[in-house]
Structure 1
């Protein structure tokens, strides 16, 4: 009897769910037709920041001597950087290593490789907020003892306005395409169903590699930098009104 009541209750509950769900399913309106468009936007500006990575490489018979020599030269290099007006907050150590230097095994009768000394590499990344100082600064640090300048990158200090400009351009391009496609398809654009946007990173159009020595001040040219954005807009489309 208990089992029969359980089965009867289950059947009744299932029947009630079906009765409740049926009107809800019947009330679901068909989804309106939509048009999805994509737009890309680019904003270009001249960089106003240079980021330089430079350093000192020192070698000596012992690790202690190599570290001492490197510290002396690196202190002189950092002094040259700060004397050029660069704030200490814009100077950051980006690499420090101590490695043994090995002999060439091909020159040993038994093909042995021996430690002949130690090499210390210390490098800093310097943010230069006045591009006009870039060339003279590089000349000063090389004269002070920097024997490695790996390159220079450029950036934009206040890129927010540039990103906004790229985003507006992307949305405007998507809207332009929507109007064009709707006219060609013979439909009218209705309300916007959704808008999605994303930003791309800054793309340097120019990147310089610096010479180690020069008879005149090292030329530094920032070129231009692009910031990109894209937008996706979904419109509800409607028949044209006659």
Structure 2
């Protein structure tokens, strides 16, 4: 019995030796691959910027109808009457984004030394905002004043939504190309080559703020029969920034 066991162990030694040898070879073949996968990738981070200028073709305008009256009702009714005239005119001109921007009714006071303020009447103000192309803005402003508007509270110049959207995409392309150029400049100096892009971050693709018309222009005599108020737009800048993580 013991002799058979010794013979079995003796005969099993070559097979066990072959198994151990194969395992060592297998581990030796896998080890370099594992080491390579765990090796951190070399990356370079570059941030690019893009700026695109577009013309402002639209005017965002805010008008006000301010009326004084001896009673709140009288002031408000007169303001409503004149506001209706202005709104009807603007509708006839098919302006865009016409809406009520504000309604206010306030007492007016007179102050005398040693006495409490005394109400002398009431002031009603209705504000209206709308948008129109720059080439029509001057004539519409003048006509709105003739129809009852008493104040021009603001004129801002903007580009169309489609122009801004197209400019944002173009600015993003410029920013991406700028980041790639910066990365190439650094890597070329170090005799390294750019590989795949590992990470992308869009930092911004901002919508430009409207450009206000100068206060001096808004204080001009828009009701003068001899002239049309000149309205000339400018340019808006659309900016974008992109950050790339690039392997090398």
TM-score past 0.5 threshold: yes
Q: Could you say what secondary structure the match of 2:207 adopts?
A: strand
Deviation at 1:79, TM superposition (A): 2.0
Q: Within 5 Å, which residues of 2 pair with 1:1-242? A: 29-86=38-95, 90-104=97-111, 107-108=112-113, 110-128=114-132, 130-157=133-160, 158=162, 159-197=164-202, 198-204=204-210, 207-209=213-215, 210=218, 211-213=220-222, 214=224, 215-237=226-248
**Cα RMSD (Å) of the superposition?**
2.1
Distance in 2, Cα, partners of 1:69 & 1:182: 73
Which blocks of at least 5 consecutive residues in structure 2 are unaligned?
Answer: 1-33
Aligned residues of 2:158 and 2:211 also touching (Cα < 8 A)? no
Aligned residues of 1:35 and 1:178 also touching (Cα < 8 A)? yes
Aligned residues of 1:91 and 1:125 also touching (Cα < 8 A)? yes
Aligned residues of 1:56 and 1:122 also touching (Cα < 8 A)? yes
Query: After alignment, is 72-81 or 196-205 more displaced?
Result: 196-205
CA offsets 1:57-109 (integer angstroms, 9 cap, x no match):
1111111000011011111111221233325xx211111111111212xx24x
Compared with structure 1, are the counterparts of its residues 40 and 206 closer, same or farther at alpha carbon in structure 2 (3 Å cutoff)?
farther
Aligned residues of 1:94 and 1:124 also touching (Cα < 8 A)? yes
- The TM-score normalised by the length of structure 2 is 0.77
Give the greater-gyration-radius structure (CA).
Answer: 2
Compared with structure 1, are the counterparts of its residues 227 and 150 closer, same or farther at alpha carbon in structure 2 (3 Å cutoff)?
same
Aligned residues of 1:203 and 1:227 also touching (Cα < 8 A)? no
Which blocks of at least 5 consecutive residues in structure 1 are unaligned?
Answer: 1-25, 238-242
User: Which residue does the alignment assign to 1:11?
Assistant: none
Aligned residues of 2:51 and 2:171 also touching (Cα < 8 A)? yes
Q: How many residues align?
A: 207
Deviation at 1:179, TM superposition (A): 0.8
Compared with structure 1, are the counterparts of its residues 151 and 206 closer, same or farther at alpha carbon in structure 2 (3 Å cutoff)?
closer
